Amino acid sequence: MLRRADVVVHDALIDVRVLALAPAHARRIDVGKRGGGRHTRQEDINRLLIEEAACEGTVVRLKGGDPFVFGRGAEEVRALAQAGVRTRIIPGITSGLGGLASAGIPATIRGVASAVTLVTGHGAGADPLEGVDWRALACSRATLVVYMGTRTIARVAGELMAGGLPPETSAAVIERATWPDERVVVTTLRDIAETALHAEIAAPALFVIGNVVDAGVRSNGRKNGQRHTHLQGSTR
Asked whether residue 105 is assigned to any structural domain, the reply reads yes
Same domain, 219 and 105: yes
Exactly one of 6, 33, 161, 191 is catalytic; name it.
Answer: 33
Asked whether residue 66 is assigned to any structural domain, the reply reads yes
Same domain, 99 and 215: yes
Residue 228 pLDDT grade (very low, low, confident, very high; cuts 50, 70, 90): very low
Q: What does the pLDDT average to over 35-49?
A: 84
SS3 content of the chain, % helix, strand, coil (to 5): 30, 20, 55
Same domain, 6 and 77: yes
Of 82, 108, 138, the position where a domain reaches its end is 82
Give catalytic status of residue 30 as yes or no: no
Same domain, 113 and 203: yes
In percent, the amount of the chain with pLDDT more than 90 equals 78
Asked whether residue 90 is assigned to any structural domain, the reply reads no
Asked whether residue 121 is assigned to any structural domain, the reply reads yes
pLDDT for 7 beyond 60: yes
What pLDDT score was predicted for residue 130?
A: 86
What confidence tens digit (pLDDT) does each residue in 132-189 have?
999 999 999 899 999 999 999 999 999 999 999 999 999 999 999 999 899 999 999 9
What pLDDT score was predicted for residue 13?
A: 87
Same domain, 78 and 99: no
Could you tell me how many helices (H) and strands (E) the chain has, helices first? 8, 9
Asked whether residue 235 is assigned to any structural domain, the reply reads no
pLDDT for 14 beyond 50: yes
Exactly one of 11, 63, 66, 214 is catalytic; name it.
Answer: 11
CATH of the domain at 16: 3.40.1010.10
Cis previous bond, 204, omega within 30:
yes
What pLDDT score was predicted for residue 36?
A: 55
Same domain, 42 and 157: no
Give catalytic status of residue 63 as yes or no: no
Q: pTM, whole model, 2 decimals?
A: 0.86
What pLDDT score was predicted for residue 225?
A: 36
**SS3 state at 171:** strand
At residue 113, what is the residue type? A
What confidence tens digit (pLDDT) does each residue in 95-116 have?
999 999 999 999 999 999 999 9
Domain that holds residue 78: 2-82
**CA–CA dist 62, 29 (Å, integer):** 10
Of 23, 53, 82, the position where a domain reaches its end is 82
Same domain, 65 and 115: no
Going along 142-189, which residue ranges are E strands? 143-147, 170-175, 183-188
Residue 36 or residue 234, greater confidence:
36
Same domain, 128 and 224: yes
CATH of the domain at 107: 3.30.950.10
Structural domains counted in the chain? 2
Same domain, 29 and 100: no
What pLDDT score was predicted for residue 35?
A: 59
Same domain, 142 and 103: yes
- DSSP codes of every residue in 144-155: EEEES-TTTHHH
pLDDT for 231 beyond 80: no
Residue 231 or residue 207, greater confidence:
207
Exactly one of 63, 66, 148, 214 is catalytic; name it.
Answer: 148
What pLDDT score was predicted for residue 38?
A: 66
Give catalytic status of residue 1 as yes or no: no
Same domain, 33 and 70: yes
Tell me what the pLDDT averaged over the chain comes to.
89
Of 53, 82, 111, the position where a domain reaches its end is 82
Same domain, 17 and 124: no
